[in-house]
Amino acid sequence: MQMKHASLVVGLLAMLGANAAPLTCPANGVAINYPVSKKGDQQDNYHGTTIADPYRWLEDANSAETKVWVDAQNKVTQDFLGQIPERETIKQRLTKLWNYERYSVPYKEGGRYFYSRNDGLQNQAVLYTMKSLSDEPRLLLDPNTLAADGTVALAGSAVSPNGKYLAYGTAASGSDWNEWKVRDIDTGKDTGDVLKWVKFSGASWTADGKGFFYSRYDAPEESAALAGVNYFHKMYYHVLGTPQSADPLVYDRPDDKEMGVTGQVSNDGKYLVITVSKGTSPKVRIYYKDLSRPGAKVVPLVDVFDAAYTFIDNVGPLFYFMTDKNAPRARVVAIDTRKPAEAQWKQVIAESARTLAGANMVNDQIVAEYLADARSLVKVVDRNGKLVREIKLPGIGSAAGFGGKRNYRESFYSFTSFTNPTTIYRLDMKTGASTVFRQPKVDFDPSAYETRQQFFTSRDGTKVPMFIVSKKGLKLDGSNPTYLYGYGGFSISMTPSFSPANLAWMEMGGVYVLANLRGGGEYGEAWHEAGTKLLKQNVFDDFIGAAEWLIANKVTSPSKLAIGGGSNGGLLVGAAMTQRPDLFAAAIPMVGVLDMLRFQKFTIGWGWTSDYGSSDNADEFKALVKYSPLHNLKAGTCYPATMITTSDHDDRVVPAHSFKFAAAAQAAQGAGDAPVIIRIDVKAGHGAGKPTTKVIEEVADRWGFLSRALKMNSPAAVAAK
């Protein structure tokens, strides 16, 4: 249904509390005196429709007025959370659960192995190197030494082909802005090279080890660094020992400010493969440059945004790509650069009923990673696509990694599930045998828990899967505190993974549910597109359908059901709680996109229009305003107990989204005392690189908040530990 102008105005007046008759909401135990959030008179005209934006002033995170508001809100939140007796017990248990070794998947370059390790409670993982798997690992880079509070994280790394240098990027306080430096691997000392204003980029070395390609934006004005829009991505080449100002521009797109450019040097060192993207759309263009020919020009290979293309490797002029061109669940093709016409492409791996999620070339074979109903399946085929073997995985879960080069005889991968901590395996590419490389030990008994996959029917008849994880022997009487989590966007697949946070929740007697919503990539590009733009409501319908199934089948009940999600998942939670507040007792929208009419006006938000559409488009505006969480709050409604979370350095989804939503939700909450609080972290960003101490504190607050909102018994299981 399309919302008419008159009803829209009425809805907005209700949001602001004009002549609203408050409903009677159930008592929740604690009344809160919220800070005053003044209402301005800002109004905007969208295609003939006037929209009020009374909290526009909160978009200026640097203003003294906003800072006072933030401090006041944080005080209210901390006072509220401080009254929850279970919070400290939960935090202690989380600290114990988190204290286990965690490893990244190793990679090999220049005759050395590299991997990261966190010994348990380190704020940041430490990078190690060794020349053979039997050697004692040597510490190469410890980000914990870069900031006393652990808020500087390693954001990327690349080793030169000769194994002599490490280029590494760091992110401060969770920002997307990275600073790149170079370290001599033998001496462990930095060379003095410094690259600034790098964003959405790695580093790719040339074969001679003299320098690397990277991408950046022009330096922003200081006041706009965390909120200003980012346009005109450019790729440069940095020569070691020279200042960044001398870096030559390799490729950019002055014809389109929204295009992003990244470069990857082929494993044989001969080609620079350039991927040109537009926002977050998976559809890209591919260009290349012959690095063996001085002065060679950039050549188009795929010069239209018609599909996704991921470069795998090359055998001379034959380039291998994973693509969803004419294959929504993806396939592998080989393109001969001498005969690049699509009619000449060779199909290597055909599309199948399962979604092809990744492909790498190792041992002159292709390792193909599939998703079968959001669970991993891995096959090895030769370069003609003939099956060599299926890799036997330890169980139902998620596998990742499988990197390497065409002449390598080994690879490494990780495997995890809801109840199995991430274990790292070495894969012998000749025999197909997997052996444990690193396996952590966590203080819990996995046999006490069970996972089941359940399909439910969404509003339009679509079958949607979800994972339900709990202690064994779950009683279906509707009394189980349940945390329903989802994302549903940007073709991102949500698959099983181990989480100390979720384990603590289940130890408290909670049920954890992960829904595989449309908008994700679990079933390929068609599944993704079914949850975008004018079809975005499908995602919310799927999430609501999951909740209704859980309630109808007595896994839980509305008074025991909480929902959570971050970023695009924060939008999901905001939309669900405003559309069906009756279904949920609690909601936790984390770093969410909550103002769907203005998201494109900050940092990289314009890049999300491929999934959301834009309020600048009349038809898309009509869809956006119908579900935008900020614009669908209505005064006097009994909203669930809500804890909004954001961070002061979030330059992905700027905190203004959460600030404005919190102010409006506090004003709209009906009579009663279900809390609407906002937790604003400091020296933190969108989530990546967040120190372990901050993660544990945030999760303790989340579960403490839910223990009160869902009226859970004292977490005896936690206390007993």
Contact, 542 vs 575, CB < 8 A? no
- CA distance linking residue 131 with residue 265, whole number of Å: 24
Which H or E run includes 382? strand 375-382
Our measurement of the distance from residue 263's CA atom to the centroid of its chain's CA atoms, rounded to an integer in Å, reads 22
Specify the 3-state DSSP secondary structure of 587.
strand
- CA distance linking residue 593 with residue 604, whole number of Å: 12
Strands 561-566 and 482-485: parallel
Task: Determine which one of 458, 567, 647, 707 is catalytic.
Answer: 567
Contact, 167 vs 203, CB < 8 A? yes
Contact, 378 vs 367, CB < 8 A? yes
Residue 398 catalytic? no
Q: Token pair of 76, please?
A: 């209210």
- CA distance linking residue 518 with residue 535, whole number of Å: 10
Residue 367's nearest CA partner among 385, 380, 352, 351 is: 380
Residue 160 catalytic? no
- CA distance linking residue 556 with residue 534, whole number of Å: 32
Length of the chain: 721
Given 3-state DSSP classes, what are the helix, strand and coil percentages for the chain, each rounded to the nearest 5?
Answer: 25, 35, 45
Contact, 69 vs 35, CB < 8 A? yes
Task: Determine which one of 233, 238, 649, 686 is catalytic.
Answer: 686
Dihedrals phi, psi of 190, to nearest 5 degrees: -75, 150
Considering Cα of 596, then 602, then 606, then 611, what sign does the dihedral take?
negative
Which H or E run includes 236? strand 234-239
Query: Distance of CA 35 to CAs 227, 428, 666, Å?
Result: 25, 61, 9
- CA distance linking residue 234 with residue 663, whole number of Å: 38
Active site residues: 567, 686
